[in-house]
Amino acid sequence: MHSLVEKTLDNTMSNVPPQKNTIDSSAVKHWHAETEVLIVGGGGAGISAAIEAADAGAKVMVLEAASEPGGSTALAGGLIYMGGGTPTQTACGFEDDTEEMYSYLLRASGPNADIEKVRLYCDRSLEHYDWLIRQGIVFKPEYYPNKHVNTPNEAALMITGNEEAWPYNAHAKPAPRGHKPQIKGDHGGIPLMKHLIQSAREKGVEIICDARALNIIKDGAAVVGIAARIDMQTKYFRAHNGVILTTGGFIMNSEMVESYAPRLARGNHRNGNPNDTGDGIRMGISAGGIGINMDEGFICTPFYPPRQFIESIIVNESGARFINEDVYHGRLGSAILDRPDGRYYLIIDSRHFETLNRPPMGGYPVAGTGDSIEELEQELLLPSGTLVDTLASYNRYATDGQDPTCHKHSKYLIPLDQPPYAAFDLTVGNGAIYATMTFGGLDTLPTGEVITADKAVVPGLYAAGRSSAGLPRCAEGYASGMSIGDATFFGRLAGFSATKRHLNRT
């Protein structure tokens, strides 16, 4: 039996040398600066933490390794997962319910879900929406109805995950919950971070750039500061209330990816910024924290748009379908990287091919063509009769709007019965895009407090965003918006908790 407990233990980093040391505060001769809340990493989680801490009355400082704050959040599509009846959902004519959102997100978070975090996130989703609006973020109340990786126009709202796809649609009522800050095109992370950074600065938050945090400073069991590299010198920053680690994930650290998340190492596009090297996770472990869910991450192979590809079928080297083709691209990517050495093809007929108005987003080369499906089957070197049988069965049921094999939604079921046929190659290593980022990170309470393997709080240490194991827990269930939603929401909670914790000031 491979129990959940065993899986969790397998995925921890507790048994690994953290490659970082803590520094004892007695060794610090001169504090370069003192603050109440010290935040390491000025991306979505860090700046949200800073705003909340400043609002709660703390003096706040952010150390940022790059020359500008923003992190991967600024590079992102900017989708934020929110629901339960947001003003944008309502303005676009959608009803949503917190319980439906909870039911969906719990399933989307997979077997390692942090139930407490999912519950809190859903219960406070409307409040989080209001908070984002208060920071100046605008969501244009317009719904983008097609399946896409992001809204390609200014529209704020779209369905971003597996909500309408089996098996999720059998457990929760679907609703569009991806909210993109207003911008022409799909770079919603830019206006998101612009407004958050501006808000933080207006509240007096000091953001120090070109400052790479190296080590945690401890006084006994408590975390009291950070050593950082600035202008080729090591400088010591004292934090009277707490240190919040928000340095993002570790997809750019090949050694960590290969050790902890080998499935992600098979990807060919790392989704992130150059500083996604796991510094916060490693610092947190050095101070007593533990990394959990380390093998998990996002795996995207963007096979849509166009819609014609959703109406096609995807088969493996046995000529068999293995997934409903209306899933979120991350669910397909996850299924393929579960068996990365297999061959995978998207089979399309001429009715669909001839109406294509764009090449496949995922960079898939053409693997073969055939005047008949038999000819295509031979060209792809599939076992005789397999693809022929698969397509015959698919077409028979699709005519009646049914898919008993993989449960694709009836709105995408159109028989693929117009020869000639073509196959696009989704095989890993043959040119298809497999973009990855990590989900594993420090184990934290919903308050952001970093906890040890024994679930004890590390005094004065907090983490949020991809430095922590938050809401996104598994590739097969992930929906766009869960990461930025998690980073901004739980970043806020960490900022608030750190502010409310008072060490004895010396």
Ligand X SMILES: Cc1cc2nc3c(=O)[nH]c(=O)nc-3n(C[C@H](O)[C@H](O)[C@H](O)COP(=O)(O)OP(=O)(O)OC[C@H]3O[C@@H](n4cnc5c(N)ncnc54)[C@H](O)[C@@H]3O)c2cc1C
Binding site for ligand X (CB under 6 A): 40-46, 63-66, 69, 71-73, 75-79, 212-213, 246-248, 271-273, 275, 279, 437, 465-467, 480-485, 487
**C-beta closer to ligand X: residue 118 or 213:** 213
Nearest distance in Å: CB 74, ligand X: 7
Q: DSSP letter for 364, please.
A: P
Nearest residue (beta carbon) to ligand X: 43
- With tokens 């696009």, the residue in question is 424
In the complex with ligand X, the residue whose CB is nearer, 239 or 422, is 239
For residue 495, the minimal CB distance to ligand X (Å) is 12
Please identify, using beta-carbon distances, which residue of 197 and 348 lies nearer to ligand X.
197
Residue with Cβ nearer ligand X (31 or 397): 31
Question: Residue 195 and residue 209: Cα distance in Å, rounded?
Answer: 18
As measured in angstroms, the least distance from the Cβ of 121 to ligand X is 12
- For 412: left if phi > 0, alpha if psi spans -120 to 50, otherwise beta; the answer is alpha
Element (H, E) at 120: helix 115-123
Nearer to ligand X, 302 or 370 (CB): 302
Between residues 316 and 468, which has the closer beta carbon with respect to ligand X? 468
Q: Measuring CA to CA, which residue among 416, 414, 421, 317 is closest to residue 373?
A: 421
- Cβ atoms of residues 278 and 250 within 8 Å: yes
Contact 272, 249 (CB under 8 A): yes
Smallest separation, CB 234 to ligand X (Å): 13
Cite the DSSP H helix spans in 25-97.
Answer: 44-55, 71-75, 87-91
- Classify residue 453 as exposed, middle or buried by CB count within 10 Å of its CB (0-12, 13-18, 19+): middle
Question: Helix axis angle, 482-500 relative to 125-134, nearest 10°?
Answer: 80
CB of 125 to ligand X, least distance (A): 14
The C-alpha atoms of residue 465 and residue 74 are separated, in whole angstroms, by 14
Helices (H), 22-86: 44-55, 71-75
Nearer Cβ to ligand X (73/312): 73
Report helix, strand and coil shares of the chain as percent, to nearest 5. Answer: 30, 20, 50
Q: Residue 438 CB, nearest distance to ligand X (Å)?
A: 9
Write out the two tokens for 78.
Answer: 């900017």
Minimum distance, C-beta of residue 185 to ligand X, in the bound complex (Å): 13
Q: Which of 482, 451, 336 is nearest to 12 (CA)?
A: 451
Distances (CA, A) of 253 to 209, 306, 367: 21, 33, 33
Kindly tell me which of 252 and 373 has the beta carbon lying closer to ligand X: 252
User: Which amino acid, 79?
Assistant: L
Query: Which residue, 248 or 360, has its beta carbon nearer to ligand X?
Result: 248
Question: Could you identify the residue written with the tokens 């650290």?
Answer: 253
Shortest distance (Å) from residue 273 CB to ligand X: 5
DSSP 395: H
d(Cα 79, Cα 158) in Å, to the nearest integer?
9
Provide the minimum distance between the beta carbon of 240 and ligand X in the complex, in angstroms, as a whole number: 20
Displacement of CA 128 from its chain's centroid (Å)? 18
- List the structure tokens of 129: 């929406």
Q: Which is nearer to ligand X, 269 or 409 (CB)?
A: 269
- Measured from the CB atom, the residue of 42 and 362 that comes closer to ligand X is 42
Confirm if 43 and 70 have CB atoms less than 8 A apart: yes
Least Cα distance to 438 among 464, 467, 409 occurs for 467
CB 420 within 8 A of CB 268: no
Q: CB of 81: closest distance to ligand X in angstroms?
A: 7
Nearest-angstrom CA–CA distance, 224 and 209: 21
Place of tokens 């244009």: 140
Q: Least distance to ligand X from the beta carbon of 269, Å?
A: 9
**Torsion angle, alpha carbons of 166, 168, 170, 173, to 10:** -130
Nearer to ligand X, 45 or 348 (CB): 45
Which residue, 179 or 352, has its beta carbon nearer to ligand X? 179
Q: Rounded to the nearest whole angstrom, what is the least distance from the CB of residue 336 to ligand X in the complex? A: 20
Give the shortest CB-339-to-ligand X separation in angstroms: 25
